[in-house]
Amino acid sequence: MPEVLARTRLRRPHRQVPEVARLVLPELAADAEDVLEDTVMDKEQQAIERLRLAAEMSEAYYDGAPLIVTTSGGKDSDVCLRLAEAAGIRYEVQHNHTSADAPETVYHVRDTFRRLEEKGIKCTINWPTYKGQPVTMWNLIPQKLMPPTRIARYCCAILKEQSGKDRMITTGVRWAESTKRKNTRGIYETFHSDPTKQIILNNDNDDTRRLFEDCRMKAKRICNPIIDWEGRDVWDYIESEHIQTNPLYCEGFSRVGCIGCPLAGKRSREIEFSRWPAYRRAYIRAFEKMLEVRKERGKMNGTWRIVTTGEDVFNRWMEYDIVPGQITFEELEDGTE
């Protein structure tokens, strides 16, 4: 058994079998613990195998280029980085600078990169561009003429998903994070701007793997090695491997993505804006610039007439002053560019 797995078995906590079960039915409880340990170990070994296959494909299809392990600075990325190390593969690491990440996340990525670079691993920070120019969340909003919303997530495509073109990458995406991901993401994927041409594989069996390996498309391919991990698998692995995670988890944050992300719940966003008020001000300034551009282009018609200041837009974006039946930004997608 590889050393990493042996260590994991020893440290795995037995918290999932209730103490009372161990007292009443000690033998059955011991069996249950073994099953639980084996399940988590299977997932770990499976993830390592997925990474090894992805690394092989990367070198075979992309002229010897190593697999890119992407990191967002969150716990799932940290787990992927550790698994890549355990897999003993050739890889490099990339992070996309969104400009809306918390300072703690930026510092955590920097620390992680320093540690990896000391081990000789190439680490790169990607600075996004839009229409050939450097872009941030703050100058993208005025260009798009509306705030990002749950439906119009233009910021993700531009700030987070541009890198890794014509390469094989990994992400820390997990099905447990949302029903949508369960339906649209797979263990291995090809990336295509036309979703009907995308290949998404949801299991590791030989037939589906062959299908992916046989695909000659040179576009971006994605491997999601921990896609079937539950949140507790992630935390168990972090604990057993003593992985240093983003300090924001210790403050009680359950997600450490962009501040104010419209995909987060209203309460989470409120907590974020009270913790980092400078980001609230940055969004309001971006909304003010967006309104100026809309006015210049004569696009203050319809519901847009209701919002006259950046603060108004912010309040509607946070769904503070929307009465039932009123149009929300998500219904105003047509205005985007």
Site for ligand SF4, rule CB under 6 A: 98, 100, 148, 153, 155-156, 159-160, 257-258, 261, 263
Quote the least distance from Cβ 96 to ligand SF4, whole Å: 9
112 CA to centre of own chain: 17
End-to-end CA distance of the chain: 54
Q: How far is the CB of 157 from ligand SF4 (least distance, A)?
A: 8
Name which of 153 and 299 has its Cβ closer to ligand SF4. 153
Residue 153: CB minimum distance to ligand SF4, A: 4
**Starting at the edge strand that comes first in sequence, how are the strands of the sheet with 200-201 ordered?**
123-126, 91-96, 67-70, 168-170, 221-223, 188-190, 200-201
**What's the farthest any 2 CA atoms get from each other in the chain?**
75
Residue with Cβ nearer ligand SF4 (155 or 226): 155
**C-beta of residue 71 within 8 angstroms of C-beta of residue 170:** no
Please state, in angstroms and rounded to a whole number, the distance separating the CA atoms of residues 303 and 172. Answer: 39
| Closest to 138 measured CA to CA, from 336, 333, 282, 315 | 282
Cβ proximity to ligand SF4: between 37 and 101 the closer is: 101
The nearer residue to ligand SF4, 45 or 184, going by C-beta atoms, is 184
Quote the least distance from Cβ 173 to ligand SF4, whole Å: 12
Q: In this complex, which beta carbon is closest to ligand SF4, that of residue 47 or of residue 264?
A: 264
Of the pair 4, 102, the CB lying nearest ligand SF4 is at 102
Q: Which is nearer to ligand SF4, 51 or 155 (CB)?
A: 155
The minimum distance between CB 33 and ligand SF4, in angstroms, equals 38
* 20-53: b (≥16 Cβ within 10 Å) or e: eebeeeeeebeebbeebbeebbebbbbbbebbbb
Report the C-alpha gap between 207 and 38 in whole angstroms.
Answer: 25
CB of 109 to ligand SF4, least distance (A): 15
Question: To 5 degrees, how large is the angle CA 253–CA 46–CA 84?
Answer: 65
Q: How far is the CB of 59 from ligand SF4 (least distance, A)?
A: 30
